[in-house]
Amino acid sequence: MSKNSKETSKSVGSLASEVLRNPSSSAIQKELAGSALSQSHSNKQTGADMESKASHVLQSEKYNDTTKTLAASVLSQSNKKR
């Protein structure tokens, strides 16, 4: 299996941290933020389920820039073969 060695950047990590501390953040934002943070300074890759959710966010018009930034980061860390 091909490994993706990308990890969450400091700016996205900070954004993810803010999202998780903000009580008004949406459930999808918190889920993406948690995934992004778990991949910070690690070799973990995005799972298929989270990859699908992130892809949906990026294709939808209803999500804001914060959500799309988190989704893009999570998706960029997915398995290269999927």
pLDDT of residue 78: 78
Integer Cα distance of 34 and 13 in angstroms:
10
Do the Cβ atoms of 82 and 53 come closer than 8 Å?
no
Profile the chain (82 residues) by mean pLDDT over runs of 10 residues.
Answer: 62 94 97 90 79 96 97 84 56
pLDDT of 1 reads 46
